[in-house]
Amino acid sequence: MDSFPEPALALVEQMRAAAALEPARAISFQGAPGANSHRAALEWEPDCLPLPCFSFVDAIEAVKTGMAGCAMIPIENSQAGRVADIHFLLPESGLSIVGEYFLPIHHDLMAIPNADGSFGPFKAAYSHPHALGQSRHYLRERGIVPLSHADTAGSAAFVAAEKDPTIAAIAPRLAADLYGLSIVEENVEDSADNTTRFVVLAPEALDPASLEGAPAMTTFMFEVKNIPAALYKAMGGFATNGVNMTKLESYQKGASFAATEFFADIVGAPGDPAVDRALEELAFHCKELRILGSYPQARERP
């Protein structure tokens, strides 16, 4: 917790104390108070007790140790792609995906004013690498150097602590309110439809039967056998059974570069005969298959 900038520490202490009294209501998230993950937790469950954690590992560990009932974790962004390390952390966590949430992302440029009340010029702007990437055209056009920070709200707390009017932060409006910064310009993201998908992680998986009759998603990871056309054959069951696969990503397992794991989302849940047949065929061609969770669909997939 000492890694948070000074202006954030008091808020973190208050939120941790509140969560400790009612851990079942707590939702852990990575970042300082005011981060987009904080916003997502409050929008997904307005009555929750947000629990800020410095890292994704800390947010997951809070759920595993009972400090929080669930965790709100970003998994991918419409501009920046998948969030680094999440695809490794999810299967190692032992937690299950029980929900998803799509958060429209709007970045504001915020700072402290000059002595005369004006703003800038700014020599640098701090933020999370994803937020900097999502605002790169804005920054380049103004000659502002992007500098990485652990998270968006943390960068706002850092700028507040530095009291330097020549540096700014790119963060959600909530962070400006929490740390006493002024909004210099709103919506500095390069794309108006910038969106982050979050997943909600909990100790116990949802019973797929509880999702019957409503649109659902299932997320799983698998490693195919190391034989020719294994992936092609493994995917065939989804096509022949009419199961819509909305996501398929690959990454290397270990350092041998000889084994590849895949991360996938499908529409539907076990218990649906078509999904059961597709997963059974997939398992036949796999060395490993792990269901990470079935959960209500938050946004319709075409």
Residue 282 placed within a domain: yes
Instruction: Match 């999370």 to its residue by tokens.
Output: 128
Q: What is the mean pLDDT of the chain?
A: 93
Q: Is residue 41 part of a domain?
A: yes
Last residue of a domain, one of 173, 202, 231: 202
pLDDT value at residue 61: 97
Residue with the bigger pLDDT between 18 and 85: it is 18
Residue 260: left if φ>0, alpha if ψ -120 to 50, beta else—which one? beta
Name the residues annotated as catalytic.
196, 198
Task: Provide the CATH number for the domain around residue 151.
Answer: 3.40.190.10
Q: Of 108, 60, 53, which Cα lies nearest the Cα of 86?
A: 60
Same domain, 100 and 49: yes
Tokens 């195919």 correspond to 224
Q: Which of 202, 25, 174 lies closest to 100 in space, CA to CA?
A: 202
Domain of residue 36: give its range. 6-104+195-202
The span from the CA of 4 to the CA of 27, in Å, is: 18
Calpha distance 7→161 (Å, rounded): 6
Average of pLDDT values for 178-184?
Answer: 97
223/267 same-domain check? yes
In a domain, 190, yes or no: no
Q: Work out the average pLDDT over 214-223.
A: 96
Encode pLDDT of 23-47 as tens digits.
Answer: 999 999 999 999 999 999 999 999 9
Q: What is the rounded CA–CA span in Å between residue 270 and residue 184?
A: 49
What's the CATH number where 235 sits? 3.30.70.260
Structural domain contains residue 159: yes
User: Does any domain span residue 224?
Assistant: yes
Same domain, 46 and 24: yes
How big is the chain, counted in residues? 302
Structurally, the chain folds into a number of domains equal to 3
pLDDT of residue 256: 67
Say whether both 176 and 248 belong to one domain: no
Residues 268 and 249 in one domain: yes
Q: Based on the domain organization, do 151 and 176 belong to the same domain?
A: yes
CA distance 237 to 280: 8
Q: What is the 3-state secondary structure (H, E, C) of 140-173?
A: HHCCCEEEECCCHHHHHHHHHHHCCCCEEEEECH
Q: What percent of the chain has pLDDT over 90?
A: 82
Which has the closest alpha carbon to 244: 302, 189, 291, 188?
Answer: 302
Q: Between 230-240 and 273-284, two packed helices, what is the crossing angle to 10 degrees?
A: 170
Judge contact between 105 and 233, C-beta under 8 A.
no
Residue 156 counted as domain residue: yes
